[in-house]
Amino acid sequence: MKPLIAFDRLGDGPPVILVVGAFNTRETGAPLAEALAHKHTVLTYDRRGRGDSGDSASYSVEREIEDLDRLIQEVGGKAAVFGFSSGAALALAAAAHGLAIPRLALFDLPLRAGGPANPVDHAAALDALVRAGRRGDAVEYFQGRMVGMPEAVIAQQRHAPFRAALEAMAHTLVYEATVLGDGLLPMDRVRAVRAPTLAIAAGKGPPFMRETAEVLARALPDGRARVLEQATHDLVPEVLAPPLLEFFAA
């Protein structure tokens, strides 16, 4: 049986589905959804294993793509998709898989356009920590080894009020690491995307994401890259809504 996928629907107009990243629930995308809802029907959802959504005994990227396809069917059989961070990698995989996505927007896709692949299997390492009951260690592994947060910031967050929520989602970090694979932009997957695609990078985010956006845009038949110079790696409606509204209306 397929797990329940919890979602919120807001607004009216051509549908847009927001796919968020690690440690995020549908509440993370809610402010951006509100900023788009005067022009669009916007769905925010809890990806499997977090928030109010269900899960299954085993994970695969294909199952997450099926979850997104169920939401696309919910809004009439096709929908534009916005993916953020590791959610952008999932959205890219879904578009390459052939889901009915007429327009695709990706913000801060955390895959490198070149260089060596990840030297370790992050998904396996995270899975081992979660299975051992070391959920806090899994959180810090992801923050340090995968995101690159400074140790001082990681230590400070150990006593933050949201720490329990992060640990509650620790098992989904295995899912994120699986979606991200070896950390490199999968060019075969990119070339399979036919939808017009907007690759956005935050000017104040990791520099490699700017290069990734540019490489991805050049490789697509209808791709464009845009750097938002004042943006950080956060979903700020005032920053993201204008270029997204322009792109989705084109």
Among 49, 4, 55, which Cα is nearest to 170's?
49
pLDDT at 250: 83
Task: List CB contacts of 103: < 8 A, sequence separation 6 or more.
Answer: 80, 81, 195, 196, 197, 198, 247, 248, 250
For residues 13 and 79, give the distance between their C-alpha atoms in angstroms, rounded to a whole number: 11
Residue 121 pLDDT exceeds 90: yes
Report pLDDT digits (tens) over 194-219. 999 999 999 999 999 999 999 999 99
Report pLDDT digits (tens) over 158-200. 999 999 999 999 999 999 999 999 999 999 999 999 999 999 9
At the topology level of CATH, where does 7-114+184-249 sit? Rossmann fold (3.40.50)
Q: With a threshold of 0.75, does the pTM exceed it?
A: yes
Confidence bin at 10 (pLDDT 50/70/90): very high
| pLDDT mean over 112-136 | 96
pLDDT at 1: 82
Report pLDDT digits (tens) over 46-102. 999 999 999 998 999 999 999 999 999 999 999 999 999 999 999 999 999 999 999
Edge-first strand order for the sheet with 7-10 is 7-10, 41-45, 15-19, 80-84, 104-107, 197-202, 223-228
Q: For the chain, which residues make up each domain, given as ranges?
A: 7-114+184-249, 122-178
Q: Do residues 10 and 39 lie in contact, with contact meaning Cβ atoms separated by under 8 Å?
A: no
Instruction: Compute the mean pLDDT over every residue in the chain, rounded to the nearest whole number.
Output: 97
For residues 99 and 73, give the distance between their C-alpha atoms in angstroms, rounded to a whole number: 10
